[in-house]
């Protein structure tokens, strides 16, 4: 099984999850600093203060990627390093860190893929309303312009937002992520202002010239009703609307889905949507980033869900017999094929990059110091095959970034969940490539997973 020539194999991380150094070189506080330092919000009161200490171990981590033959690295820029207060002049020391990172990647022939926003909103902007207010969209476009001016021409691909669904619904709806608000109408406003921020950022970056590729990353999940029962089918439609169509439709069809506007009519009058916003949001993109972790099998519930499906009478089931990861997520690689084919048939034929896929398992270093994560190898192998199947069915898939290079700060789960292909021994910060890292290096060399009879 071989992938197309020039297929880009990479790994992904995000700033707050790995960098640490939260008070250095002029960085300002973000909503995740505030949230993680608020008692009861993150498991074991973990914070990103030190994380993987990547800010100080940049060279070592770059060498690590080079030693594994990684071809592309997706990282995110911490907005509060660039604009500590969320607006105004750029903090040069913050930009310098990312200039060093990008130069270090290019020296090692690793293609930089840059995410502008992976959830670390400057606290100063949250204090003025965060993503519930339009001003944040405008500030985001300015910030995007600053980073673009500094690095255009050096970065292979630019991703405006990572997973706006998570920012809006887990941050403002369910309150399990920063900033920890619990209000459906705020989650709706945040959805719109995130998407508008994306559109305005694309506009601003394009106006600055250069031919860099620009896209957005969505977390998407195929949805299946648990039975043919009308109530379950209805629950599945709503969940699909919230998780997938609420983002794909405005970006690729220039309109919010009618059934979602109706469903949320009692929560919001959508007056935050102004004339011209949807045209801005639907500006043509060079690629679509897709983060895939699981399918949602849903059934109707007596009460509205809070965490996974805020504001919907729906709950998620683990299909009988399905394996689950340490996050409790079902492993369903065939749903990745289904998702990619659906995007291609229903939404867009721009190249798709899988910007994240991976899994947490209960990894440990054995007495010899090895981490034998066979489950992760099996997980990745099955998902690479599912992606290949989508290519066979005509999907224009161009890149695959494994989440994640390193074990890291898994948001509300703190350091308890390990997604890395490289194990991090947090007390010493030693990096130990897991068995999956060596296996992935081989996949990259061959341009596909090994034959099953090998
Ligand atoms: O760790 C996260 C990442 O920040 C965004 N996508 C999902 C990953 C696993 O939960």
pLDDT for position 307: 63
Cis check for the bond before 292: say yes or no (omega within 30 of 0).
Answer: no
Q: Where are the domains of the chain?
A: 8-446
Q: pTM of the prediction?
A: 0.98
What's the number of CA atoms in the CB half-sphere (13 Å) around residue 294? 20
Whether ligand 1 lies within 6 angstroms of the CB of 356 is answered as yes
The best mutation among 48, 327, 419, 424 to test binding of ligand 1, ranked by most ligand atoms within 8 Å of the C-beta, falls on 419
The best mutation among 32, 51, 404, 408 to test binding of ligand 1, ranked by most ligand atoms within 8 Å of the C-beta, falls on 404
pLDDT for position 27: 98
**112: helix, strand or coil:** strand
Q: What is the DSSP string of 361-427?
A: B-----TTS----HHHHHHHHHHHHHHHHHHHTT--EEEEEEE-SB----GGGGGG-B--SEEEETT
In ligand 1, the atom with minimum distance to the C-alpha of 413 is 10
Other CB atoms within 10 A of residue 372 CB = 15
pLDDT for position 278: 98
pLDDT for position 454: 66
pLDDT for position 161: 99
What positions carry a catalytic annotation? 163, 356
Give backbone dihedrals phi and psi of 216, rounded to 5 degrees, phi first.
-140, 155
- Give the CATH H-level superfamily of domain 8-446: Glycosidases (3.20.20.80)
Cis check for the bond before 202: say yes or no (omega within 30 of 0).
Answer: no
Whether ligand 1 lies within 6 angstroms of the CB of 120 is answered as no
Q: What is the DSSP string of 332-359?
A: -THHHHHHHHHHHHHT--S-EEEEEE--
In ligand 1, the atom with minimum distance to the C-alpha of 291 is 6
Closest CA to 86 of 48, 143, 39, 37: 143
pLDDT for position 306: 63
Q: Write out residues in the chain with pLDDT < 70, as ranges.
A: 306-307, 453-454
Summarize pLDDT for 100-132 with one digit per residue, the tens.
999 999 999 999 999 999 999 999 999 999 999
pLDDT for position 413: 98
pLDDT for position 310: 81
Rounded-to-integer distance, Cα 18 and Cα 311, Å: 32
pLDDT for position 116: 99
Which alpha helices (DSSP H) does 24-133 contain, by range? 31-36, 58-67, 79-82, 92-107, 123-127
In ligand 1, the atom with minimum distance to the C-alpha of 419 is 9
């Amino acid at each position: 099984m071989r992938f197309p020539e020039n297929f880009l194999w990479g790994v992904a991380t995000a700033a707050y999850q790995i960098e640490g150094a939260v008070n250095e070189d002029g960085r300002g506080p973000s909503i995740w600093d505030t949230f993680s330092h608020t008692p009861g919000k993150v498991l074991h009161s973990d914070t990103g203060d030190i994380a993987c200490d990547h800010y100080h171990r940049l060279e070592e981590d770059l060498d690590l990627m080079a030693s594994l033959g990684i071809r592309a690295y997706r990282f995110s820029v911490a907005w509060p390093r660039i604009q500590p207060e969320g607006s105004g002049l750029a903090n040069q020391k913050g930009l310098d860190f990312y200039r060093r990172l990008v130069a270090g990647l290019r020296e090692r022939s690793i293609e930089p893929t840059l995410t502008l926003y992976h959830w670390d909103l400057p606290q100063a902007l949250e204090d003025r309303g965060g993503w519930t207010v339009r001003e944040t969209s405008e500030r985001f476009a300015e910030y995007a312009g600053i980073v673009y001016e500094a690095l255009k021409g050096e970065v292979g691909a630019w991703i405006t937002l990572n997973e706006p669904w998570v920012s809006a619904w887990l941050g403002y709806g369910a309150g399990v992520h920063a900033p920890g608000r619990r209000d459906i109408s705020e989650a709706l406003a945040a959805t719109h202002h995130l998407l508008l921020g994306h559109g305005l950022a694309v506009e601003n970056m394009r106006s600055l010239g250069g031919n860099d590729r620009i896209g957005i990353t969505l977390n998407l999940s195929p949805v299946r009703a648990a039975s043919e029962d009308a109530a379950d089918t209805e629950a599945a439609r709503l969940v699909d609307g919230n998780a997938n169509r609420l983002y794909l439709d405005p970006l690729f069809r220039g309109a919010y889905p009618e059934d979602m506007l109706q469903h949320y009519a009692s929560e919001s009058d959508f007056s935050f949507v102004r004339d011209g916003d949807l045209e801005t949001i639907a500006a043509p993109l060079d690629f679509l980033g897709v983060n895939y972790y699981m399918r949602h099998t849903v059934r109707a519930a007596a009460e509205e869900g809070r965490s996974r499906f805020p504001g919907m009478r729906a709950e998620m089931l683990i299909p009988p017999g399905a394996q689950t990861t340490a996050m409790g997520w079902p492993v369903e690689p065939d749903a990745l094929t289904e998702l990619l084919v659906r995007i291609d048939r229903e939404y867009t034929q721009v190249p798709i990059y899988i910007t994240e896929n991976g899994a947490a398992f209960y990894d440990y270093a054995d007495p010899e110091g090895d981490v034998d994560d066979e489950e992760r190898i099996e997980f990745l192998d099955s998902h690479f095959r599912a992606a290949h199947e989508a290519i066979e069915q005509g999907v224009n898939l161009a890149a695959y970034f494994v989440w994640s290079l390193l074990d890291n700060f898994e948001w509300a789960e703190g350091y308890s969940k390990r997604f890395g292909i490289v194990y991090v021994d947090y007390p010493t910060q030693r990096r130990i490539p897991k068995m999956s890292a060596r296996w992935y290096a081989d996949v990259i060399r061959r341009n596909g997973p090994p034959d099953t009879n090998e």
